[in-house]
Structures are given as structure tokens and as C-alpha cells.
Structure 1
Amino acid sequence: MLLQTVTPVSVLGTTVAFALFLSVTAHLAARNVLGDVDPRRALYVGPLPAIIGVVGGAFSVSEALLVPAALLVDGAMFAWSYDQPRRVVVGMTLIHAVITTLLGIVLLGIAVLLAARPA
């Protein structure tokens, strides 16, 4: 059995990678709803939901609490970053959740296939 040590650097790296992934998918969602938007605005959306996910996972918080909290913060960050009406923000948040889920499944599937390939 391979035993891995959790270090502050590994937690920080995971959080930053997750925040960048969420920022990219937030930009895709914003472009889907608003059209041509500044990609730098999406950089504000990703970090807080990523921190909620990593910290909640580290403390074994129930997904029933973690997912709604992350979605609420995600919506608040969309509202703050893009300054849109509530209805538009809800749409962007839902599309962001769908894009993030689908892209995450595809990337996980690719990783599993690559890990299972013969040597």
C-alpha cells in the first residue's frame, strides 16, 4: 500500500488547481450566458468555492451541506464579478455547475483510462 503524506504545499497546490479549473469553467458559463466577456472576471469566481471544497473535504463535512454552500458562494461571486440581475446570475451558476460536472467527469475518465493502459 502506498502511503502519501499530506503537506501544506500539496493542499495549497490542490486548492490552486481546483480554483483555476473552476475559474475556467466559470468563464465558459459566463460566455455561454453573456457572450463575449473579460476572462479575468472569472478568476474572482473560482477561488472561494475551491476553498470551501478543499476545507470541507479535509474536515469531512457532509456533501449535503458542502454543495449548497459552494453553489451559494459561487452565485455570490458571479453576482459580484459580473454585476448582473439575479435571474442571470442563477442561470450562470447552474450552467457553471453543469459544465464543471461534465468536464470533471470527462477529465477523470481520461485519467482513469491513461492510468489503466498497459505498460
Structure 2
Amino acid sequence: MVTLQAGSVGSPVAIAGTVGLFALFLSITAHIAARNVLGDVEVKKAFVVGPLPATIAVVSTAFGLNPFLAILTALVVDATAISLLYGRSRRLTAYVTAIHVVVSILLGTVLFGLAFLLASAPG
């Protein structure tokens, strides 16, 4: 039986907000990745890709599951969604998924750094 981590789970509104913002972030980075690899693609397809890994991340964190298993599961779900939505070969799907990971890490690092700088500003 898996139990929730003590003290790490907030209100349902906070959890929904976290999933929603993370899903929006991953949707934007999925669109950037798909656009860079595939060219002109529909934005609405990316909004299907983003919520799936975001939900996996929040649920695995809330239940204290193995983070490596959660990352692997999120990558597989991400690749499956990209494959089904864009209808490309496995090789191209793997490439779009890899670019999605890279763009998410880079943009997340920049945004986190900016937030840290703003939070630590004097005054």
C-alpha cells in the first residue's frame, strides 16, 4: 500500500493549480519541440501532450514513488502521445521527444533562475 508523504500534499486547489501550470508549461515546450522538428504543426495537439506527463509527475511526487520510474513512465507516455497525435515514425517520434526534454530543461532552468533572481532582489 502506498501512502501520501506527510506534510507534502497541499489543498486540492493547490494540487490542481500545480498540475495545470506544469501541464501548460509542458504543452508549450511540446509545441516548441514539434515545431522545430516537424515544421508547421497545430498548437492544439501540444495541449494534449502536456497534461499527461504533468499528472504523472505530480502523482508520483505526492505518493513518494520512485522518481526514475516516474521519469521513465512520463517519457514513454510523452512519446506515445507524440506518436499518436503527429503520426510520425518511431525515429522521428523519439527525436521530437528528446527535443521536448531538452527544451523543457532549458526553459525550466531559465524560468527558475529568473524567479530566483526576482525573489532575492533587495527591497
Give, in angstroms, the shift of residue 93 of structure 1. Answer: 0.2
Q: Which residue of 2 aligns with 1:31?
A: 35
The structure 1 segments of at least 4 consecutive aligned residues displaced by more than 3 Å after TM superposition are none
User: Which shows bigger deviation, 82-91 or 58-67?
Assistant: 58-67
Alignment match of 1:20 (pick from 24, 30, 33): 24
1:98 — aligned with what?
Answer: 102
The runs of 5 or more residues in structure 1 that have no matched partner are: none
AA aligned opposite 1:10: A
Deviates more, 1:62-71 or 1:49-58: 62-71
What is the distance in 2 between the residues matched to 1:100 and 1:5? 24
Q: Kindly indicate whether residue 90 of structure 2 is the aligned counterpart of residue 86 of structure 1.
A: yes
Q: 2:11 aligns with which of 7, 10, 22?
A: 7
Aligned residue type for 2:47: L
Aligned to 2:59: 55
Unaligned runs of 5+ in 2: 1-6
- Report deviation, 1:4: 9.2
**Paired residue secondary structure (1:94):** helix
Amino acid corresponding to residue 81 of structure 1 in structure 2: L
Matching residue of 2:71: 67
Q: Deviations over 1:45-103 (max 9, x none)?
A: 00110000000011111221111111000000101111111111000000000000010
- The TM-score, its normalising length taken from structure 2, stands at 0.91
1-structure distance, mates of 2:79, 2:10? 31
> CA 1:49 to 1:4, structure 2 compared with 1: closer, same or farther past 3 Å?
closer
Aligned residues: 117
TM score, norm. by length of structure 1: 0.94
Q: 2-side partners of 1:62 and 1:49: how far apart?
A: 15
Identity %: 49
Distance change >3 Å, CA 22–CA 116, structure 1 → 2: same
The 2-side partners of 1:118 and 1:41 are apart by 42
